[in-house]
Structure 1
Amino acid sequence: MNISARIATELRGDRVIWALVALFSIISMVAVYSSVADLAYEDRAGSTLYYLIKHGVILGVGLVIIYICHLMAYTKYSRWAPGLLVAAGALLLMTMFFGLEINSAKRWLRIPLVGLTFQTSDFAKLALIIFVARSIGSKQDVIKDFKEAFVPIIVPVVGICALIAVNDLSSAAMLFFICLLMMIVGRVALQYIVMLVLTGICVFSLMVMVGSKFPTLIPRAATWESRIEHFLDGREPDPQAMEQVDYATVAMSNGGLFGEGPGNSLQRNYVFSAHADFIYAIIVEEYGALGGILVIGLYVMLFFRVVRLVTKSSKAFGAMVAFGIGTALLLQAFFNIAVNLDLLPVTGLPLPMISMGGTSTLFTCIALGIILSVSKYIESATADAT
């Protein structure tokens, strides 16, 4: 058996998605290597090799995770959904009380013994999407019923989003919107969707009110108010964040149409978190508007391939979980790009599969593995039908 045939045998599922994973990985390695110069100067005496190796190892582990997750039958994720949701709620509660506080937010838990940290909201987002997909898929016969279908879905959605929102409002808002879209696609009654939106607004308003009276309970409530007020006024509330957005805007302006060339970014020396939150600006500076459009095009192509799976899947859970995960990846990418373009307030959401990161990259790889598992099933079902 030749090498290409061997690869085709091992990597089942949508070939385009596999190709996109490879392209994202290559772009990530190149972009991270270009954008960590300032970080390397501060922590590693100017050596960027350490971060290149570290990021390469994380990406390598992530690719192995994609492969393992795509091998498993996607129906297993449906069976695990209730347990994953309970674990997500427990981890979010632990983060609220025992999490590491960075920039006035508790979003990370330290893993005992090994000393590594991970962002629990990354796990919770994936767990909730899988659970909502399972609920919609298993309740198609009663999907229009309030008590039988809507209540079992809305309670976990509001609960998990509220726990995430305490320290990460942008992630909670994005997750809430994704669940909303999943329910619309899953044919949940429109009046219940409107009720869900109103419930979300009420829960958020209540959290702001409680936070204003008891700031120690919800310490970021004042930050939420400030961000909303300043965003409506067209201003960034955090002067440091505004400065970073300005640098990112200058970087993209410098890039022009064709860019300054690989490794020739100047603004990477000034933009804080150039390797993560603002890596898109560095890509545009070095590869121009054409490079930026290419990155956007890759995410759009990934989403369209996911939509293709949704239309071809004969199982409701497979269609819904693929749609939910695909939408999450697309929205996170566009939120990150919108921040770089100064269209949204700074949110702290990384660019999926491109930004340097730890748990965010690994959970993104799990998500891609699940999508490929669904596509593998569709591919097998199509082959059997012919």
Structure 2
Amino acid sequence: MKFLQSLRLNKKLLRELDYVTIIITICIVIFGCVNIYSATVKNYETHIFKLQIMWFIVGLVVLCILLAFDYMLIENYAVIIYWASIILLIIGDVFGKVTNGANSWINIGPVNIQPSEFAKIGMTIMIAKKLDEMEGKINDPKNLLELIFYAAVPMLLIVIQPDMGMTMVSFFIVLGIFYCIGLNYKVIIGGITSILILVVGVWNSPLMQSYWKVRLLSVFTPGKNITGAGLQLDQSKLAIGSGGIFGRGFGNGVQFNSIPEHHTDFIFAVLSEEWGLIGALMLLLLYGILIYRLIKIAKESKDIFGTVLCVGYISSLLFLIMENIGMTIGLMPITGITLPFVSYGGSSMLTCFISLGLVLNVGMRRNKINF
């Protein structure tokens, strides 16, 4: 009975909810759905568009459910959540569906899920719990090694798939958390240097997939690979450039049809062609407002656990936006990374709303509520 009563949202809590962040997010999702419709209606009619709307609704429902729980309750189940996500990753590594060269998907009936999307949330929750227990003392060598262990397990399992994009996202989540919690700069620089040395070491090893090399090199040699990543990048640039300042107008884009995955990874090329520079800047403005408000929540959190949850999601969001848009214009390597709340994808949409729900939860309960 007490548990059910704990799920009731008091009016005082509802007044603390950041409705502006929810409205901004909904605007971004609607803009994404409009562009997904334009990108897919010719080949899929309204099937893809309807699926995205369905995941949008599911995401909103999950967000509302999460708001009913005190996020401190989630901390109590952090260990279960973390190891459940690890088991999901292992299942994906062994029995996963191979997509674009990676065992990164699991079929559950008619639904495909991407375990790594959920693993990054589990990893963030676990690191947040440990840092809370450590009272933020991240520069203690023993504490740091423990945190690195919990970060390394999911990242290694993602590397095995292999999924370069999600590995990079996970790394930047951890880097963002460690930086904001106050890890010594020398340790951060030493860690990044070690990783760069490691990357150089495995470049010619079997661990380095050939298509990873092509995608990385395509950033520095655009147009060289006219049948693979180079062609994809060139077509993306052509679509974005043809949009000009004001765009060709909704439904009038044609260049993006030559881009593989134009409704998922390369959705930015679609919206840039149809809505032009103005549309692209409007999306970036919405993202900017969203991130600003999330940072505000992180600063006002009443505890370390809440702060780390926020920082982890903010780090993920920043990197996803930077990497996805960057790869469509040739500034970043091409990876299977989606544009948050905009690209088509059930796992991406659902985990974005889960993460947002956790952050909003922290914001709602930043002050002690007296009933």
- TM-score normalised to the size of structure 2? 0.88
Task: Check conservation: 1:249, 1:340, Cα contact below 8 A.
Answer: yes
The residue correspondences of 1:72-87 to structure 2 (distance < 5 A) are 72-87=69-84
The residue correspondences of 1:210-221 to structure 2 (distance < 5 A) are 211-212=205-206, 218=207, 221=209
Of 343-352 and 242-251, deviating more is 242-251
Distance 1:337 1:143 in 2: 33
Per the alignment, residue 265 of structure 2 pairs with: 277
Deviation sequence 1:45-92 (CA, Å, 0-9, x none): xxx222222221111111111111122111122222222221222222
Per the alignment, residue 53 of structure 2 pairs with: 56
Shift of 1:205: 5.7
> Residue 182 of structure 2: which of 180, 187, 208 is its match?
187
Gaps of 5+ in 1: 1-5, 41-47, 213-217
Per the alignment, residue 4 of structure 2 pairs with: none
Distance 2:339 2:71 in 1: 25
- 1:94 partner amino acid: I
Deviation sequence 1:216-250 (CA, Å, 0-9, x none): xx4x5333344445545556768333222222211
Secondary structure of the 2:105 match is strand
Per the alignment, residue 155 of structure 1 pairs with: 149
Task: Check conservation: 1:248, 1:278, Cα contact below 8 A.
Answer: yes
Residues 96/145 of structure 1: CA separation in 2 closer, same or farther (3 Å cut): same
Residues 17/197 of structure 1: CA separation in 2 closer, same or farther (3 Å cut): same
Per the alignment, residue 174 of structure 1 pairs with: 169
Per the alignment, residue 22 of structure 1 pairs with: 26
Distance 1:85 1:9 in 2: 28
Distance 2:216 2:47 in 1: 39
Distance 2:226 2:359 in 1: 37
Does 1:144 find its partner at 2:139? yes
Q: What count of residue pairs does the alignment treat as equivalent?
A: 361
Per the alignment, residue 339 of structure 2 pairs with: 351
- TM-score normalised to the size of structure 1? 0.85
Aligned-residue identity in percent: 26
- 1:85 partner amino acid: Y
Residues 285/8 of structure 1: CA separation in 2 closer, same or farther (3 Å cut): farther
Secondary structure of the 1:298 match is helix
Does 1:374 find its partner at 2:338? no
Residues 92/9 of structure 1: CA separation in 2 closer, same or farther (3 Å cut): closer
Per the alignment, residue 88 of structure 1 pairs with: 85
Distance 1:229 1:251 in 2: 21
Shift of 1:143: 3.0
Secondary structure of the 2:77 match is helix
Task: Check conservation: 2:60, 2:353, Cα contact below 8 A.
Answer: yes
Distance 1:17 1:86 in 2: 31
Per the alignment, residue 279 of structure 2 pairs with: 291
Distance 2:215 2:289 in 1: 32
Distance 2:62 2:240 in 1: 34
Residues 99/237 of structure 1: CA separation in 2 closer, same or farther (3 Å cut): farther
Task: Check conservation: 2:172, 2:315, Cα contact below 8 A.
Answer: no
Per the alignment, residue 6 of structure 2 pairs with: none
- 1:174 partner amino acid: V
Distance 1:230 1:350 in 2: 19
